[in-house]
Structures are given as C-alpha cells and as structure tokens.
Amino acid sequence: MIRRASTGLLSRSIVAGVHHRHFSSTEVPGADELFMMAWKRIMPNLDPPKTPLAFTRLRPSSISAADIASKLTVNLVSPYSEFSNREVDMVIVPATTGQMGILPGHMASISELKPGVLTIHDENDVIKYFISSGFAFIHSNSVADIMATEAVPIEKVDPASVQNRLVEFNQKLSSASTDLEKAEAQIGVDVLVALNSALSE
C-alpha cells in the first residue's frame, strides 16, 4: 500500500515536470513506471532491481532564456576521478573542431573531444588539465559535463618523457606496415604532439 502511494506521488511529479527538460530538472529521480508494473506482473515475489535513475544526483532545473545563470557548473569526470559541481566562469575544451569556449548560457550541444588541454577559468584562477579525448555535453541550464578517459593536471606531466615518447612513436609511424599499426602509431603521435604543445604554452 505504501509502495502504491509512493508510485502515485512519483508519477504526479513526473507529469508536473513535463514542461521542464526531463533529464536535467530538479524532480526527485524515480523509477520507470512501466518497468515496475511489468516486473510486478511477471515476478511478484522478487523485488525489482534498482536502475541508475534511482542513483542520479539532482541537477539544477532548466531556466528560461530570460534568466541565465551567472556561473557555469562544470562536472569533469573520468574513470578514476571526479570533480563535480564546481561553479566557474568559463571553460575551454579541445573539441574536434578546435578549442571551444563555454560560457554560462551556452546553447545545448554535444561535442566530441580530441586530446588536448582543458582550461578552467574561475575568477582569476586558471586550472589546466590534459585530457585524452572524450565527450562534452552542454545543457541549456548552464551545466557542462565533460567526460574524459584520462584527465591529468598539467603540472604532473613530465616534459622529458614526452619528448622521448614522441621520438619513439614517430619512428613507429614511419616503420609501420599494416593499417592497424599505422593507426596506433598515428594516435600516439597525435596525443604526444598535443601534450607537447600543451606543455610549451
């Protein structure tokens, strides 16, 4: 009985939130109604599994065009670390089309990233990370999600070893025979060239 009451509440909140962008609003994350009902029909004795919706963190609600947030909320996530809900002024990401600057109120977009430097401007601080490709989502409520497979602060990169590896990969590229080897060597060269230019900035 309690479960039915709570599902009633959830469905009401979902209906109420329909005019907001669903996945970036402040409504309480609930479960997928259809799934729950189908599960209960087939397996009444087993509790249904939780879904990621139950574990998502709340996000700021979408704001109308007239009322743009003053700061950008940025989440930088990688498989080994996360750095979330920082309020900053501007972020520059290395998209495949070049360096892209993101300010609060930027239009919603999805962009792929290439290896390069991610710069975060927060008042007068400038923090640089080197990221090795990934994706960046910008939502219309001034929330930017940047997912990278590796994100290291620039200070931790050792210039000498970068030079050595660059020489090594250039050699591999010139001596590569199969397409696969060429592709692998090319990827290595791309990443190291980007690292090199990042360090020299």
Partner 1 sequence: MAMAALRREGRRFAAPIISPQPLNPFRSSISSAEDQAFLGVRSISTQIVRNRMKSVKNIQKITKAMKMVAASKLRAIQTRAENSRGLWQPFTALLGDTPSVDVKKNVIVTISSDKGLCGGINSTSVKISRALHKLNSGPEKESKYVVLGEKAKAQLVRDSKQNIELCITELQKNPLNYTQVSVLADDILKNVEYDALRIVFNKFQSVVSFVPTAATVLSPEVVEREAESGGKLGELDNYEIEGGETKSEVLQNLTEFQFSCVMFNAVLENACSEQGARMSAMDSSSRNAGDMLDRLTLTYNRTRQASITTELTEIISGASALEG
Q: Looking at this protein, which amino acid is placed at residue 30?
A: G
Q: Which residues contact 112 (CB under 8 A, 6 or more apart)?
A: 95, 96, 133, 134, 135, 136
By CB under 8 A, residue 183 contacts partner 1: no
Query: Of 4-12, 91-99, 184-192, 193-201, which part binds partner 1 (CB under 8 A)?
Result: 91-99
The vertex-76 CA angle with 73 and 81, nearest 5°, equals 135
Closest among 145, 153, 157 to 129, alpha carbons compared:
153
Please report which helix (H) or strand (E) contains residue 100, including its range.
strand 98-102
User: Considering the complex, what minimum distance in angstroms separates the CB of residue 200 from partner 1?
Assistant: 26
Q: Does 109 bind partner 1 (CB under 8 A)?
A: yes
Per the structure block, which two tokens stand in for 127? 């923090």
Closer to partner 1 by Cβ: residue 138 or 198: 138
Residue 50 sits in the site that holds partner 1 (CB under 8 A): yes
Binding site for partner 1 (CB under 8 A): 21-24, 32-35, 38-39, 42-43, 46-47, 49-53, 55-57, 59, 75, 77-82, 84, 95-97, 100, 107-112, 134-135, 137, 139-140, 145, 147, 149
